[in-house]
Structure 1
Amino acid sequence: MLNLITHDAITEINMTRPPVNALNVDLLRAIRDAVDNAVAGGARGLVLSGMPGMFSAGVDVPSLLGRDRDGVRDFWREFFLTCSKLATSPVPVVAAITGHSPAGGAVLSLFCDYRVMADGPFRIGLNEVQVGLVVPESIQMALRRIVGSYRAERLMVAGAMVESAEALAIGLVDELTHVDQVVTRAVAWMQVMLALPSNAMLRTRTIARADLTAIWAHPEKLPINEFVDAYFHPETQAVLEKLVARLKKKD
């Protein structure tokens, strides 16, 4: 489910849940544990990566559809806890976006300090609206601080997915490189950060991310019940069921 790779003072948390790194409770918990263990072990920077061609396809919708309300709430709680873990990490985190990154995959990248994406016909975006899901304020805020309010509105309301070149142009990602070099470039950026005077860099980073951490430091206070209510809206359920049916036809 995860490969942990050491690059000197940098730990790469490599998602390896075939076939598309879909996010389920086990993977989300594993990412959080990996962050905690890496930091406790002395890592000064983290890289979150995926498989060539696919960073993460987002939420494992087929497994989620079979859950009752408590089960769905538990899943989204785990998802928000993982977002919080990345947002409040005491060390910098780079998202090595090794390919497609829709929905939940794109969301995880928002909480990282920097985003390196594979150049080419790879798409990224918060396409939740297209599958009937509401984007909560806490996630909207994370996108706004990266691309600006109006651009974030247009992307989220339409559920837009954009290719890597457009993602770079609008600031959704910071850098493009060949798919085989994404992790290499992510590690290189982190090495530059870690070469800076650490106290100054980390304290300045804390100040710069204060708006993000103010919301995400206490994920238990987020309105998860409202999000779950929206998830069980009949329209949302109908759209998600059609999505799962299409996925089964591809298998």
Structure 2
Amino acid sequence: MSLIESSVHHNIHELRLQRAPVNALNPELCNALTHAVQAAIEQGAQGIVLAGGPKVFSAGLDVPYLLSLGDDQDALLRAWRAFFNAAHALASCSVPVVAAMAGHAPAGGCVLALCCDYRILADGPYRIGLNETQVGLVAPEGIQALLSRAVGPHRAERLLVAGAMPEAAEALQIGLVDELTDIDNVAVRARAWLEDLLKLPTMPMRETRRIARAAVVDCLRDERIDLDRFVSAWMEPDTQAALRAMLARIGK
């Protein structure tokens, strides 16, 4: 079965992550998402909805897979590069993209959402955020800047240092998401938002969007991610211990 389910609603393409049970982001899923975004544009999409599974949009990077790579830094670099390529595909997409999150979006799931134009989260006990410090990681400067762009620098600092993941109501209040809706209605609302946006004159809307979102693309520049440094830090003993403890807690 394909890792990305694609459906077309007039000129809006919906791309749904389909890696059970929680859409953990391994290289295959990340590469499939990058290609799906490109294919949607080639097929004439005027807007894209990025959706995930029920109750979990995406649980973030596939930590068991990454740990299985041991100290193979080349393999780790390839895995992380696949993720950041997918994030860049969303951030630099030539048409608007809405994250339709019918559930939790921690870590890498939150990053993908932050790369979209608009974020809709299911109303309820669903959490979104960058919890890297909770599992022994340091979010790259560019990823921290993505969060700061959404919620402001001081609030981003508080969230990042604590590794906090606010629930839906607080996420809306602080600007981390743009809208809450019933869990069964998330993708429908995403398409409705795009339909309204696409009523505007195409060229002015797209060019204004391109200028406004240049900062999003800039956050993902290689210099601001510094992948070599990130992967080196991944190998630190305390980081490895924290990651393995996290897996033990959730029964992996």
Tell me, yes or no, whether TM beats 0.5: yes
* Distance of 2:158 and 2:218 partners within structure 1: 25
SS of the residue corresponding to residue 162 of structure 1 reads coil
Q: Residue in 2 aligned with 1:52?
A: 54
SS of the residue corresponding to residue 14 of structure 1 reads strand
- Whether the 8 Å contact between 2:143 and 2:225 is mirrored in structure 1 is no
- Name which of 184, 187, 191 aligns with 1:187: 191
Structure 2 unaligned runs (5+)?
none
* Distance of 1:238 and 1:228 partners within structure 2: 15
Q: Residue in 1 aligned with 2:236?
A: 233
- Whether the 8 Å contact between 1:15 and 1:49 is mirrored in structure 2 is yes
- Name which of 185, 210, 216 aligns with 1:212: 216
* Distance of 2:48 and 2:185 partners within structure 1: 17
- Whether the 8 Å contact between 2:142 and 2:224 is mirrored in structure 1 is no
| Code of the aligned partner of 2:197 | M
The change in CA–CA distance for 1:237 and 1:65 in structure 2 (over 3 A counts) is same
SS of the residue corresponding to residue 59 of structure 2 reads coil
* Distance of 2:131 and 2:40 partners within structure 1: 31
- Name which of 102, 105, 117 aligns with 2:121: 117
> What whole-Å deviation, never above 9, does each CA across 1:12-34 have from its counterpart, x for those lacking one?
00011111011000000000000
- Whether the 8 Å contact between 2:140 and 2:224 is mirrored in structure 1 is no
The change in CA–CA distance for 1:56 and 1:84 in structure 2 (over 3 A counts) is same
- Name which of 21, 39, 43 aligns with 1:41: 43
Q: 5 Å matches for 1:195-210? A: 195-210=199-214
* Distance of 1:181 and 1:81 partners within structure 2: 29
| Code of the aligned partner of 1:53 | K
The alignment covers a number of residue pairs equal to 248
Q: Residue in 1 aligned with 2:98?
A: 94
- Whether the 8 Å contact between 1:117 and 1:164 is mirrored in structure 2 is yes
* Distance of 1:215 and 1:61 partners within structure 2: 23
* Distance of 1:130 and 1:160 partners within structure 2: 8
Shift of 1:161: 1.0
Give the % identical residues.
Answer: 53
* Distance of 2:129 and 2:223 partners within structure 1: 25
| Code of the aligned partner of 1:183 | A
Q: Residue in 2 aligned with 1:245?
A: 248
Residue 177 (structure 1) aligned with residue 181 (structure 2): yes
| Code of the aligned partner of 2:119 | R
* Distance of 2:225 and 2:118 partners within structure 1: 25
SS of the residue corresponding to residue 115 of structure 1 reads strand
Residue 103 (structure 1) aligned with residue 136 (structure 2): no
- Whether the 8 Å contact between 2:128 and 2:166 is mirrored in structure 1 is yes
Shift of 1:219: 4.1
- Whether the 8 Å contact between 2:106 and 2:131 is mirrored in structure 1 is yes
Q: Which runs of 4+ in 1 moved over 6 A?
A: none
* Distance of 2:223 and 2:10 partners within structure 1: 34
- Whether the 8 Å contact between 2:30 and 2:83 is mirrored in structure 1 is yes
Shift of 1:220: 7.9
- Whether the 8 Å contact between 1:14 and 1:48 is mirrored in structure 2 is yes
| Code of the aligned partner of 1:160 | A
Taking structure 2 as the reference length, the TM-score comes to: 0.95
Q: Residue in 2 aligned with 1:224?
A: 227
| Code of the aligned partner of 2:147 | L
> What whole-Å deviation, never above 9, does each CA across 1:80-100 have from its counterpart, x for those lacking one?
111111110000000001101
- Name which of 140, 143, 148 aligns with 2:144: 140
SS of the residue corresponding to residue 133 of structure 1 reads coil
